[in-house]
Chain A
Amino acid sequence: MTSRKFKVIYWGLALVGIIVAGVAWMEMSALEKRRAASVSLIPKDLAETLLPKARPLKPFALQNHDGGPFTENQFKGKWDVVFFGYTQCPDVCPLSLSIMAEVFNSLEKSDPQVAEHYRGVFVSVDPKRDDLKILKDYAVYFHPKLTGVTGKPKQLQNIARQMNVAYMVEPGDRPDNYLVNHTATMFLVDPQGRYAGVLQTPHEADQIIAKLKKVIAFSQQ
């Protein structure tokens, strides 16, 4: 009697074990398959640059440095390298913008067909001090391809939020003397006007050049 009970339990357990193993195996292979499918789009060497899926930008309304509108539509047509900062920024902004300029200059010389796919956008998050004239002088000084953009604080927050950009004012000893801490990453917006990628700090011209070339090669496949 006991041996019969034992047998039932034994076979029962074995059956459960087999089922569990079977389900687990199916799950694993399903997960593997899905993982394989999700990474197949972006090549490995661009995995840190391009987002797995470009995100369309919702409407925003800013101004370019000539006084014209700068909305999500102005991003369309070419790839844009976007940097957020302010003109009274002593170190990071001029450093980053001169690297961006170096990248453009060097691409124009070595790979003009790549260079023509790109523009630069400098978004000032300090509209209180950066009027359009100051902004234009500043942007064009670095590179003629660079457009200075700014606008109302709400609209700046709008675009910043969409691109995961943070900035905050650090008060100084006088009301007009303050610093702005801000994201120093550069962003890529694709010709469809979608937030498509990031260029992480520290910025190095040679690395950015290589990445920008790969992005164009990949997007033309």
Chain B
Amino acid sequence: MKWYLNYLNRREIIVNTWREYGRSLRLLTAVVALGGVFAIGTVQAGSHGGHGGHEGHKKAGHNSHKGVQVHDAWVREAPPTARVLAAYMSLDNSSDKACALVSVESPDFERVELHNTVVHNGMAHMMKQDAIDIPANAWALLEPGGYHMMLIGRKRALKAGDTVPLKLTFRNGKSQEVTATVRKTVGGGGMKHGSHADHSGHMGH
């Protein structure tokens, strides 16, 4: 029966090889499919770019620039030892012009950076952003697990209910003062993370 044992051994190898092969085949299929999707995407983007007329329309557009409205600005409460916090809000651009948030300052923090959390293959990456774009007539949502303001170097204790002034500066040079409320996301507060909208940071311009 030695030949049979040998055969079994070899069979294991063959079966594994086939499994490997199957895996690479699947991978290849996935790559080809992805390539196809990208190709289609590129073609569409290209044809979209062809409608250059849109740009002209925008330039000639009515100058009813209402600015950016900030809704529901909040800062996540953190333990007293934490020196780095995050602020979230939604930026509503109701104008016909695209706009971008380029910098933020706060008297309560040494400095503020714009970041995006990207989870790729289970690994969380903080991607520093030079700006957060807010397209014309659209929202930019800063929420946990995504775009956020990283508040670095806390200068005073902040508890739930406190307010944090933030000065947002946009690419067009305009800036806006916003008040963010500190919120507790764990414990008795009964609040679910980032899902409440109390419009505390409401700002007109």
A interface with B by C-beta (< 8 Å): 27, 31, 87-92, 94-95, 97-99, 101-102, 105, 133-134, 137-138, 140-143, 166, 170, 177, 179, 181-185, 200-202
Task: Convert B137-176 into 0s and 1s, putting 1 for each residue whose CB lies closer than 8 angstroms to a CB of A.
Answer: 0000000110010111000000000000000000000000
Cβ-neighbour of A183 out of B124, B151, B192, B193 (below 8 A)? B124
Q: Does B26 contact A (CB under 8 A)?
A: no
Q: Kindly state whether residue B95 has any CB partner on chain A within 8 Å.
A: no
Total count of chain B residues near the partner, CB < 8 A: 31
Is B5 positioned at the interface, with any CB of A under 8 Å from its CB? Answer: no
Residue of B nearest to A166 (CB): B123
Are the C-beta atoms of A94 and B185 separated by less than 8 Å? yes
Which of these, B79, B85, B144, B193, contacts A138 with CB under 8 Å? B79
Q: Is the C-beta of B187 less than 8 angstroms from some C-beta in chain A?
A: yes
B99 at the interface (CB under 8 A from A): no
Knowing A166-B123, A183-B123, A185-B122, the reply to whether A137 touches B186 (Cβ < 8 A) is: no
User: How far is it, in angstroms, between the C-alpha of A90 and the C-alpha of B153 when the chains are bound?
Assistant: 11
Cα–Cα, bound, A17→B148 (Å): 66
A143/B186 in contact, CB under 8 A? yes
Q: For residue A88, which residues in chain B have a CB less than 8 angstroms away from its CB? A: 82-84
Which residue of A has the minimal Cβ distance to B128?
Answer: A179
Residue contact B86 to A101, C-beta cutoff 8 Å: no
Cβ contacts under 8 Å, B78 to chain A: 94, 141
A-B pair count, CB < 8 Å, reads: 91
| Residues of chain A with a CB closer than 8 A to B144's CB | 91, 94-95
Closest partner residue, chain B, to A200 (CB atom)? B122
B46 within 8 A of A: no
Known: A95-B193, A170-B126. A137 touches B145 (CB 8 A): no
Interface contact B187-A101, CB-CB below 8 Å: yes
Question: Which residues on the B side are within 8 Å of A201 (C-beta)?
Answer: 119, 122, 124
Nearest CB of chain B from residue A20's CB, rounded to whole Å: 14
By a CB distance below 8 angstroms, the chain B residues around A99 are 193
Q: How far is the CA of A88 from the CA of B126 in the complex (A)?
A: 12
Beta-carbon contacts under 8 Å, B83-132 to A:
83-86, 115, 117, 119, 122-126
- The chain B residue with its CB closest to the CB of A203 is B145
Residue of B nearest to A167 (CB): B123
The answer for the CA separation of A105 and B129 in the assembled complex, in Å, is 35
Most chain-B CB neighbours within 10 Å: which of A91, A138, A142? A91
**In the complex, A182 Cα to B118 Cα: how many Å?**
11
CB-CB under 8 A for A91 and B117, given A98-B186, A181-B124: yes
Chain A CB within 8 A of B53 CB: no
Cross-chain contact A137 with B122 (CB below 8 angstroms): no
Is residue B76 within 8 Å, beta carbon to beta carbon, of the partner chain?
Answer: yes
Residue numbers in A under 8 Å from B124 (CB-CB): 92, 181-184, 201
Contacts of A137 in B (CB 8 A): 79-81
